[in-house]
Structure 1
Amino acid sequence: MADLVETLSDVILKSSETVLRTHGACPRPQVHILAEDMDQPYVGFVTCRLFYRGADAASALAGLGLFPSVLMATRVLVVWEDCDLRTALESPGDSFATGVVILDAGLDEHTLNWHPFDVEVGGTSPHGIPTVIPRWGTTAHYKNVRLPAPVAELLGVWREFRQEDIQETAIRLQEAGYEFDMVTR
């Protein structure tokens, strides 16, 4: 399982860099879903719906825990860009460090993997949007650290396994704007 999580983390970081380089924007928060009791444990991922700053951002993020809860997933990787999320949550402070967070969470513990970066302004995208080139710093790992409240709520939602219809839950989330990318078997 450690190899799978490491591979997923590498893919997440590479795709985050691609989005930064080509669009000049941070990827939206995601939850990658794993069922460790299956032969092929990676289920896929859900991308957060668009949101407004403040309470709507918090609600949208917490909602990412619903689908893995219904699937009774045993592990999740929650991904966000920290400066973007803290700004959206209207956290106290004037500025925040930039970095991709990959939170590796089990049913009773978590490790926050911090991938800091500085940005250099790149060229202009074909759509006329300035792009950025990330310069990655040194990765750090923190076990069971305090999380932003909506991320902790996301984990709480996920850890309360729900006996709801999987398809109905997926449809409801898609109608709300969440995007799904599931593995087909």
Structure 2
Amino acid sequence: MTDPLILTLALDEEAQGFFERERRRLFPPERNMIPAHLSLFHKLPGEEIATVSDRLSNVADRTSPLPLDVTGVMFLGRGSAYRVEGADEVRNELAAGWQNWLTPQDRQGFRCHVTVQNKVTGAEAKRTFTALQESFAPFSATGIGFDLWHYRGGPWEAAGHFPFQGAPT
């Protein structure tokens, strides 16, 4: 069986840098094996990589950079994430063509976010969440494409980058 694929939304350099710095600061170092990311799909079939890549290329070619809003902080129970708005439409378009492949996790309601802390104690998670909430100020970001990854059980392996090519709106 082929390793599954993970699809993330590529972010502009400034936003990616911010989330990456937060993740390095807050995530347990021994568990921080992947970059900060905004997951669109957690498990697509690896044996369908050619079909997935063709669809991503097609959608990316006609999608303009996505204006995103980082609107708040989410408590995850054992960590925290930043809530992001603006990616639902493109994610729904992709999901409509992949219904037969979607796992229960990817079929449930999409909560667009970037996790910056996970797998810590409940007390540490609450302290972090409170601190992030107190210092949070909304900001804008831009989705600039799709990043496809092979999941190999540890660090992810890049499987493709699909930049948005549509004319800005």
TM-score surpassing 0.5?
no
- Name the TM-score class by shorter chain: under 0.3
TM-score, scaled relative to structure 2? 0.27
